[in-house]
Amino acid sequence: MDLNRNQLSQIFTPHYVADFMVRNIKNRYLSIHNELDIEEIKVLEPCVGKGIFLKYLLREGFTNITGYEVDQSLKTPLLEKYPKVKLVFGNFLGSNTNEKFDIVIGNPPYLGQNYNAPIFQELVAMYPICKKYFAGNMDLFYFFIHLGIEKLRPGGLLSFITTNYWLTKSKKTGIKYLKPHIVNDCFMLQYIDLSKITIFQDAKGQHNCIFILQKKYENEKNKNFDKKIEVIQFNLSNKHCEGNFLEQTFMDILNNQKSTHLLKYNSAISNKDLPKNDGWILLYPLEVKHYVDTIEKYCRFNGKVSYLNDFFIIRNGLILIKDEIFILKENENIKIVETEMYIKINNTFVKLNNEEKKRLKKIYKSRAIKPFSFDKSDFIGYLIFLSKNELRTEKAMERNKYLNQKYPNLTAYLNQYKKELVKILKNAKENINDIYFPRRGSLITHYNIKHKRKLVNLEPYYERGAKIFFSYISNSNVFGYTNDSYYATSDTYFLWLNEGKNNFDYLFLLAYLNSKIVNFLFKAKNITIKRSKTKLEEEIPIPNTSLFRSPYELELINLIRDITLNLTQNIVSVNIIKLNKLKELNPDIYSRIQNESNPKRIIDICFLKLFDVDEKLIDNLAKKYYLMR
């Protein structure tokens, strides 16, 4: 396979990183196999590059070394520099799986499948290992992990430096075979999180990690052996990554030196807990898990912890064919004079009739969202929102004729851009007759209690009813709410209540989602919303209010609801009568909140009491583990 320099995806490893990784795996291997002569250890470097790992392997006394390098331009300098190493100049992915090693170490190439499909197709056609483990949306280095595992002897160790994205991915996002292979055949012994520091100066993305896997013996597979996972996090700012400081911090790990720039702990997730098809939350200290467990104790329904996706479907707001056409900007393509509205058609502003005015909706982007509500003044324009359901027919021509008659000016405006709209729909392989409607978000697929599929019109939901929403990119818990009209673009997520979950306590849930308790969960479970909402759906537990039974707990819940209702209406006040009642039931809580002027702070105090969480302790944990997050 003839690869050019870009296709090789070569990012050469810094000397101090290779030095650390070699010494680190040597120490780990010898501690496990303490009577073994180092010259007997068989080592594989699957992606030699300029030979930086070979240099430190030889320096540490390893002699039985095999290295693979696909870049033929490096052949002569490597042969001259490392004459004692068995060098193979070909693609490691084509190597014999029957040749076994004690240690596999290196920096495999990074190359995403999404934008390099032809390369992956060629690899699958050429190499059995690639055909066996190919999955869509994967990375090239996955193949190197797979083959590295297969070439390890039982008890052998693999250490790679890679990006860390694969750890949090699920089977739907490229790790269909990778995680099952690791869980079935290996233990994860060590995970070093490098996501906060820059290792490769010229590489795109710096979310890196170093990990060590140990190949299982057959009896360890059968008897469900378990091992702890050591986690090391670098707690550095960018200024510390300059000069020798970063190199010294790596050496501190080897020398077991205490450092304010390192966090070392055993993950609360051990090897037996690693799922085969979901994300791995390894950055999860035991003392943090203790408080997560405390919170989740109050989130049990029928004996089982319930999460957000047990109650809600999460969907985007409206996805339009083209925002610039469907969203009218005042004084550009729409004018408002007192109560009248005028739309621009062929460079002339034409007055809309009353029915047409009803089909224009103020629309918001996620920037308008704030805790408990949204900024009503921060709308971006007026959305043309025509409904497919208005005339119940499956015949597009008949439906569009009806719309042209009822909304002549709105449809005339859209028809100005018909050619462009049709082209977009055609390229997306969608119905070209649907030029008057949003592409997504006006309808939702719902499953009733009998699991029968049906389409639900969402316009009544946008117009009225309780709505909780949040931004599609966020690393903190900011959840908006309204009972009023609220239409949003695709950068906003909505919580759609599952059928059968009627009479849901929205006010209590809204307060909870915006609380310090959930903010702690975001940090503890490393929840970020980056277009994907999976972690939010699967990691945020939902409290069961029926578990709070004492009079003062019920009064706390009533107080939370009361304050939350005010906040949704932008009213910053507290019901004094309720506070006085609380004084009779629990003087301690009353004394803590009576002088608080911030209603959000009162909500947090109430939740901390309800969940029996010590605020100082979780603050200290957040400072200790998540200051740099």
**What separation in angstroms does the CA of 155 have from each of 28, 30, 158, 396?**
11, 11, 10, 65
**Are 368 and 235 in a shared domain?**
no
Q: Is residue 453 part of a domain?
A: no
Q: Which residues pair with 188 in a beta bridge?
A: 213
Give the pLDDT confidence of 139-190 residue by residue, as tens digits.
999 999 999 999 999 999 999 999 998 998 877 778 999 999 999 999 999 9
End residue of a domain, out of 284, 306, 327:
284
* pLDDT score of 447: 61
Q: Quick one: 340 and 205 in the same domain?
A: no
pTM value? 0.81
Q: Identify whether residues 50 and 179 lie together within a single domain.
A: yes
Long-range contacts of 196-203 (CB under 8 A, 24+ apart): 196/233, 196/234, 196/235, 196/236, 196/628, 197/234, 197/236, 197/238, 197/240, 197/241, 197/246, 198/238, 198/241, 199/14, 199/17, 199/161, 200/11, 200/14, 202/11, 203/11, 203/110
Answer whether residue 432 is part of any domain. Answer: no
Q: 276 and 344 in one domain?
A: no
pLDDT range class, residue 105, cuts 50, 70, 90:
very high
Helices 516-524 and 506-513, interaxial angle, to 10°? 50
Residue 466 predicted with pLDDT over 60: yes
Q: Which two tokens stand for residue 618?
A: 């979780």
Q: Where are the beta strands (DSSP E) in 90-134?
A: 101-106
Cα dihedral 391/392/394/399 (nearest 10): -10
Structure-derived torsion over alpha carbons of residues 602, 606, 609, 611, reported in degrees to the nearest 10: -130
In a domain, 553, yes or no: yes
Q: Domain boundary at 391, 409, 427, which?
A: 427
Number of domains in the chain: 3
- Residue 1 in this model has a pLDDT that exceeds 60: no
The reply to whether 231 falls in a domain is: yes
Average pLDDT over residues 226-250: 78
Alpha helices, DSSP H only, in 474-575? 506-513, 516-524, 534-539, 551-568
For 80-121, strand residue ranges (E) read 86-88, 101-106
Angle at 186 between CA 173 and CA 191, to 5 degrees: 70
State whether 201 and 342 are in the same domain: no
Share the mean pLDDT of the chain: 90
Q: Among 231, 153, 160, which Cα is nearest to 186's?
A: 153
115: CATH:
3.40.50.150
| Residue 248 and residue 352 share a domain | no
Same domain as 171, residue 78? yes
pLDDT-derived band at 212 (thresholds 50, 70, 90) equals very high
- The residue that leads in pLDDT, 207 or 547, is 547
Parallel/antiparallel/unpaired status of strands 480-482 and 262-266: unpaired
- Could you tell me if residue 481 is inside a domain? no
| Bigger pLDDT: 583 vs 311 | 311
State yes or no: pLDDT of 463 exceeds 60.
Answer: yes
**Mean pLDDT, rounded, for 509-517:** 98
Exposed, middle or buried: residue 45 (CB in 10 Å: 0-12, 13-18, 19+)? buried
* Residue 179 near residue 140, CB atoms below 8 Å: no
Structural domain including 568 reads 545-610
Report the length, in residues, of the chain.
629
Provide mean pLDDT across the span 505-517: 97
Q: Which tokens is 339 given?
A: 């109560």
C-beta atoms surrounding 91 within 10 Å: 18
User: What are 478-508's pLDDT values in tens digits?
Assistant: 999 999 999 999 999 999 888 777 778 999 9
Is 241:271 a contact under the CB 8 Å cutoff? no
Report, as an integer, the average pLDDT of 109-119: 88
Instruction: Say which range, 230-239, 303-312, 498-507, 550-559, has the weakest mean pLDDT.
Output: 230-239
pLDDT above 90 (res 192):
yes
The pLDDT of residue 121 is above 70:
yes
Question: For the segment 304-334, what is each residue's pLDDT rounded down to a tens digit?
Answer: 999 999 999 899 999 999 999 999 999 999 9
Helix (H, G, I), strand (E, B) or coil at 590: helix
End of a domain among 427, 453, 485? 427
- State yes or no: pLDDT of 203 exceeds 60: no
Residues 37 and 185 in one domain: yes
- Please name which of 13, 40, 19 lies closest in space to residue 29, comparing C-alpha atoms: 40
Least confident range of 151-165, 220-234, 405-419: 220-234
* Predicted confidence (pLDDT) at residue 560 exceeds the cutoff of 90: yes
Looking at the fold, whether 276 and 329 belong to one and the same domain comes out as: no
Residue 504 CA to residue 598 CA, distance in Å, equals 26
d(C-alpha 20, C-alpha 60), whole Å: 11
Residues 267 and 362 in one domain: no
- C-alpha to C-alpha distance for 572 and 509, rounded to whole angstroms: 19
Q: Is the confidence at residue 2, as pLDDT, over 50? A: no
Q: What is the pLDDT, as a whole number, of residue 4?
A: 45
CA 517 centroid distance within chain: 20
Cα–Cα distance, 109 to 126 (Å, whole number): 18
Beta-bridge partner residues of 313: 496
The answer on 213 and 329 residing in a single domain is: no
Min mean pLDDT across 8-22, 192-206, 278-292, 332-346 is at: 192-206
Helices 599-610, 506-513: inter-axial angle, 10-degree rounding: 100
67, part of any domain: yes
Q: Is 298 contained in some domain?
A: no
H/E element holding 400?
Answer: helix 396-406
Structure tokens that stand for 520 in this block? 């702690």
Q: What percent of the chain has pLDDT over 70?
A: 93
Interval 35-88: pLDDT, tens: 778 989 999 999 999 999 999 999 999 999 999 999 999 999 999 999 999 999
| Count of other CB atoms within 10 angstroms of residue 332 | 10
DSSP structural state of residue 231: E
pLDDT of residue 264: 92
Q: Pick the closest to residue 253 from 164, 261, 472, 201 (CA basis).
A: 261
Q: Which two tokens stand for residue 450?
A: 């009998």
Structure tokens at 80: 């001259």
Let me know: does 617 contact 290? Beta carbons within 8 Å: no
Q: Residue 337 pairs with which residues in a beta bridge?
A: 340
Q: CA-CA distance, 14 to 203, in Å (whole number)?
A: 12
Q: Residue 374: in which H helix or E strand, if any?
A: strand 373-374
pLDDT of residue 238: 53
**236/142 same-domain check:** yes
Check: CB of residue 170 under 8 Å from CB of residue 137: no
What phi-psi label fits residue 302: left (phi over 0), alpha (psi between -120 and 50 degrees) or beta? left
Q: In what order do the strands lie in the sheet with 381-384?
A: 327-328, 381-384, 360-364, 487-488
Q: Is residue 291 part of a domain?
A: no
375-398 pLDDT, tens digit each: 999 999 999 999 888 877 778 888
Whether the Cβ atoms of residue 66 and residue 41 lie closer than 8 Å to each other: no
Q: Is the pLDDT of residue 289 over 70?
A: yes
Say if residue 104's pLDDT is above 70. Answer: yes
Any idea what the Cα angle at residue 572 is, between residues 566 and 575, rounded to 5°? 65
